[in-house]
């Protein structure tokens, strides 16, 4: 396996394939070997040959997850049946037989266990063999035509990773302007300091949304709030908060004036124009009923949840992140709910491990399927989750991103799941019809990490990290799990580039939540900012609880280096329980800032104060044939001899909704020679010689590029 990884690092895919096949021959049940081999064969243009290896890796992973379920539910006969069925399908007869016997010891009348034990009994002479020969891919495949490694004893100088940018600066800095700007907010998670451990819903924190609700051009902030849970009669009501941007100088609390009354247990938030009237609306994810607030166009909102068909339908669900985006291409934005755990015990259960009380793994609860609500055009939304192919089992969703990953003009959806494989819903529909998705995360290479293991995935950042014109995905993960960078090699096909990018080790001792790509110094290469913080106070066991945020500078070509906190600003030297994080240019100076919500600490607004930075071009997109939000639109600019591609995403990761504009760093270029806009409906527009250091608005179908150079 080590040689296979090293071969990949050297770009020797055929050698890597041989190494992973040899590892699989030595251990026919090595999940990572199967997965890595399937990935490499796919990259080599052999998807048909790759399919059996990826399928077996997925089944081995499913078995691992079922065994995890049995750890929490040790006497559950239905879970034992799943373990037995999976083992038998994998040709692991001894284990399949053993789970049937174990089930009979609990309930001797269990029909499936009786039949399984009787059917497998004749195979008992083969029980010393772990896997049947006819089901073993290691014994029924021959990849000996691929070359073995032929390397010198010492690593070649060619394998060393170098800075390829030739430009840029490490002097990225942020100032904590929270107090100065008048933001005074702290998320309440209903935690009880007198009770050891935490209920699982107390750990996810709140979201951050960027919205220009009064259409004055200055980005405002929406912060979701928790509440006492379960709701208690007479308890002090808490509400989400809306802050109005006063011309880039300060923020003013505007919740009451705007008519926002949202006292539920808030999670994520999505901003979008659901009726295409030119004024952004707000969709709030809750533990319990989600809420949709319609922007009246006069600086106020109306709660239209009851009218839309959402009221009551979501009362028993727990939505963590949500999204407003047109998923069927009819020009009407739809709603997507990323749902987490289900069951009444999510409100009470606290787990114990080795004598320590702590929040439970999501595997201790039932999973909750994600929901899609299609916009009917008359203010109502219809739940089409079942017929759209979203009824995929075992999803504990936390983050979401939508983009046209496949390049076919339709929005695909990536969902980050906690402790189980991620979802990658590939859009199959024709424009205007009911959306139909095919879940293809394992095939696409984003279900699990490069070793074939499911991770505790939370945050998602999306951008073209390596400059090849394709969107890559950065995922934050649980403590003592590496964060993961999925690099898109070809349209819709990703591979784990975390180690190669220098992002594996720095995040291993962190527990990441919100994250975004930000070009802090405007050199044209997207950097990464992320917020961290544990879900339990396990300091007595030597695990960190509050954690510092991190900033990784992209030195070019998707190579990252963590910048020291002492250089970045005082905020980065602090310790927090960070959760939702959104990108915003709140003072409209062309430098992207960010806002973060935290548990146990006030929300923070970080202003980018980098002194030495490049030029920029900021682009706002307005659809006319497509939905007004124009989610999925791609912008391509020519910067000298380099092409830069940016995408307007939906979802924006973990419980976040970013500033709805694209900021493109230009380095020392003072003019863009070519600006190309590709709209979701396939139409394109191009402009030449656009000057730098300005914000332009592009309206679909109009020839005028507002504020472009003459």
Backbone angles phi, psi at 663, to 5 degrees: -105, 125
* Inter-residue contact 663 to 526 (CB < 8 Å): no
Say how far apart CA 606 and CA 178 lie, in whole Å. Answer: 7
pTM of the predicted protein model: 0.91
Model confidence pLDDT, tens digit, residues 331-389: 999 999 999 999 889 999 999 888 899 999 998 999 999 999 999 999 999 999 999 99
Q: In 3-state terms, what secondary structure has residue 499?
A: helix
Q: For the domain covering 1-139, report its CATH number.
A: 1.25.40
Residue 271 and residue 281: Cα distance in Å, rounded?
A: 6
* Domain regions of the chain by residue span: 1-139, 175-608, 615-707
Q: Give the dihedral of Cα atoms 45, 47, 49, 54; nearest 10 deg.
A: 130
| Residues 200, 349 contacting (CB under 8 angstroms) | yes
Across 15-40, b (16+ Cβ under 10 Å) vs e yields bbbbbbbbbbbeebbbbbbbbbbbbb
Of the options 3.30.450, 2.60.40, 1.20.1280, 1.10.3210, the CATH number for the domain spanning 615-707: 2.60.40
Q: Which residue has the tokens 């912060």?
A: 223
pLDDT of residue 284: 98
Higher pLDDT, 431 or 469: 469
pLDDT at 163: 39
Reported as a pLDDT band with limits 50, 70 and 90, residue 434 is confident
Calpha distance 523→503 (Å, rounded): 20
Share of the chain above pLDDT 70, in %: 95
Cα–Cα distance measured from residue 569 to residue 154, given in angstroms and rounded to the nearest whole number: 41
- If pLDDT is split at 50, 70 and 90, which confidence band does 517 have? very high
- Angle made by CA atoms 681, 684, 685, in degrees to the nearest 5: 140
Q: Is beta strand 281-287 parallel, antiparallel or unpaired with respect to 484-490? A: unpaired
Q: What is the distance between the alpha carbons of residues 188 and 179, in angstroms, rounded to a whole number? A: 19
In this structure, the number of other CB atoms found within 10 A of the CB of residue 179 comes to 11
Q: What does the pLDDT look like over 630-686, one tens digit per residue? A: 999 999 999 888 999 999 999 999 999 999 999 999 999 999 999 999 999 999 999
Sort 656 into a burial class: Cβ within 10 Å, 0-12 / 13-18 / 19+: buried
Where does the pLDDT of residue 122 fall: very low under 50, low under 70, confident under 90, or very high at 90 and above?
confident
Q: Following DSSP, what letter does each residue of 31-60 receive, concatenated?
A: HHHHHHHHHHHHHTT-HHHHHHHHHHHHHH
CA distance 684 to 691: 20
Q: What is the pLDDT of residue 129?
A: 62
pLDDT(159) > 50: no
* Range with lowest mean pLDDT among 5-14, 412-421, 528-537: 5-14
Percent of the chain predicted with pLDDT > 90 = 74
- What's the chain's average pLDDT? 91
Mean pLDDT of 419-430: 93
DSSP notation for 211-267:
E-TT-SSS-EEEE-----SS--TTPPP---EEEEEETTTEEEE-HHHHT----SEEE
Task: For the domain covering 175-608, report its CATH number.
Answer: 2.130.10.10
Q: Are strands 301-303 and 291-295 parallel, antiparallel or unpaired?
A: antiparallel
Q: How would you class 379 by CB atoms within 10 Å of its CB: exposed for 0-12, middle for 13-18, buried for 19 or more?
A: middle
Task: Answer for the pair 576, 488: CB distance below 8 angstroms, yes or no.
Answer: no
Q: Does residue 456 contact residue 422 with C-beta atoms inside 8 Å? A: no
Place of tokens 């939505």: 319
CA distance 710 to 705: 10
What does the pLDDT read at residue 707? 77
Helical (H) or strand (E) element with 416 = strand 412-417
Q: Which residues, in sequence order, are bridge partners of residue 699? A: 622
- Strand ranges (DSSP E) for 539-590? 550-554, 560-562, 578-584
Average pLDDT (49-69) is 88
| CA separation for the pair 423, 426 (Å, rounded) | 10
CATH fold match for the domains 1-139 and 615-707? no
b/e 213-231 (16+ beta carbons within 10 angstroms → b) = bbeeebbbbbbbbbbebee
163-215 confidence digits (pLDDT tens): 344 345 678 999 999 999 999 999 999 988 888 899 999 999 999 999 999 99
**Around Cβ 356, how many Cβ atoms within 10 Å?**
13
Tokens describing residue 41: 């064969």
**Per-residue pLDDT, 394:** 84
Question: Can you give the pLDDT at residue 708?
Answer: 46
DSSP letter for 418, please: B
* Token pair of 406 as six digits: 């496949």
Q: Do the Cβ atoms of 197 and 360 come closer than 8 Å?
A: no
More confident residue, 75 or 299: 299
Mean predicted confidence (pLDDT) in 278-291:
96
């Amino acid at each position: 396996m080590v040689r296979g990884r090293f071969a990949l690092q050297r770009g020797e895919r055929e050698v890597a394939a041989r190494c992973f096949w040899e590892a699989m021959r030595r251990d026919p049940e090595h999940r990572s070997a199967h997965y890595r081999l399937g990935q490499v064969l796919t990259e080599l243009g052999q998807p048909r040959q790759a399919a059996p290896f990826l399928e077996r890796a997925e089944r081995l992973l499913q078995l691992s997850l079922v065994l995890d379920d049995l750890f929490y539910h040790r006497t559950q006969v239905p879970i034992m049946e799943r373990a037995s069925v999976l083992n038998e399908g994998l040709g692991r007869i001894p284990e399949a037989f053993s789970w049937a016997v174990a089930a009979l010891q609990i309930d001797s009348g269990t029909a499936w266990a009786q039949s399984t034990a009787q059917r497998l009994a004749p195979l008992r002479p083969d029980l010393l063999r772990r896997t049947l020969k006819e089901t073993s891919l290691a014994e029924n495949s021959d990849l000996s035509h691929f070359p073995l490694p032929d390397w010198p004893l010492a690593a070649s100088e060619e394998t060393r990773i170098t800075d390829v940018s030739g430009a840029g600066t490490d002097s990225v800095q942020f100032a904590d302007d929270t107090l100065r700007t008048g933001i005074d907010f702290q998320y309440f998670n209903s935690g009880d300091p007198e009770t050891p451990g935490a209920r699982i819903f107390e750990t996810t924190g709140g979201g951050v949304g960027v919205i220009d609700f009064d259409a004055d051009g200055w980005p405002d902030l929406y912060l979701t709030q928790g509440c006492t849970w379960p709701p208690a009669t007479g308890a002090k009501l808490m509400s989400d908060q809306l802050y109005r941007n006063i011309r880039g100088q300060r923020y003013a609390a505007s919740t009451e004036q705007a008519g926002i009354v949202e006292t539920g247990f808030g999670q994520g938030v999505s901003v979008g124009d659901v009726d295409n009237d030119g004024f952004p609306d707000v969709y709030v994810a809750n533990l319990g009923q989600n809420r949709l607030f319609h922007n009246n166009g006069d600086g106020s909102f109306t709660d239209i949840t009851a009218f839309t068909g959402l009221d009551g339908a979501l009362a028993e669900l727990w939505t963590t992140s949500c999204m407003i985006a047109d998923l069927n291409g009819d020009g009407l934005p739809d709603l997507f709910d990323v749902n987490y755990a289900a069951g009444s015990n999510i409100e009470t259960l606290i787990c114990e491990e080795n004598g320590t009380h702590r929040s439970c793994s999501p595997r201790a609860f039932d999973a909750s399927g994600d929901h899609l609500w299609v916009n009917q055009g008359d203010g109502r939304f219809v739940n089409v989750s079942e017929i759209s192919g979203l009824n995929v089992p075992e999803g504990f969703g936390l983050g979401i991103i939508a983009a046209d990953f496949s390049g076919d003009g339709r929005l695909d959806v990536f969902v980050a799941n906690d402790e189980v494989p991620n979802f990658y819903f590939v859009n199959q529909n024709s424009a205007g019809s009911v959306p139909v998705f095919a879940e293809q995360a394992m095939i696409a290479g984003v279900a699990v990490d490069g070793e074939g293991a499911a991770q505790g995935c939370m945050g998602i950042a999306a951008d073209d990290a390596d400059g090849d014109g394709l969107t890559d995905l950065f995922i934050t993960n649980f403590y003592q799990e590496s964060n993961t960078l999925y690099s898109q090699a070809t349209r819709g096909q990703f591979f784990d580039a975390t180690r190669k990018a220098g992002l594996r080790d720095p995040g291993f001792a962190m527990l990441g939540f919100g994250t975004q790509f930000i070009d802090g110094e405007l050199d044209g290469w997207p950097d990464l900012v992320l917020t961290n913080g544990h879900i339990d106070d396990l300091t007595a066991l030597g695990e960190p609880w509050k954690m510092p945020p991190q900033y990784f500078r992209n030195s070019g070509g998707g190579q990252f280096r963590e910048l020291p906190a002492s250089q970045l600003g005082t905020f980065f030297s602090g310790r927090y329980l960070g959760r939702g994080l959104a990108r915003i240019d709140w003072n409209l100076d062309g430098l992207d800032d960010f806002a973060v919500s935290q548990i146990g600490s006030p929300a923070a607004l970080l202003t980018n104060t980098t002194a030495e930075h490049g030029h920029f071009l900021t682009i706002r997109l307005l659809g006319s044939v497509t939905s007004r939000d124009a989610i999925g639109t791609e912008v391509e600019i020519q910067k000298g001899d380099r092409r830069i591609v940016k995408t307007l995403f939906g979802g924006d990761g973990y419980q976040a909704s970013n500033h709805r504009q694209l900021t493109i760093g230009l380095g020392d270029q003072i003019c863009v020679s070519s600006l190309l806009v590709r709209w979701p409906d396939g139409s394109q527009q191009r402009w030449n010689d656009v000057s730098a250091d300005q914000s332009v608005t592009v309206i679909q179908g109009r020839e005028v590029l507002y504020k472009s150079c003459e």
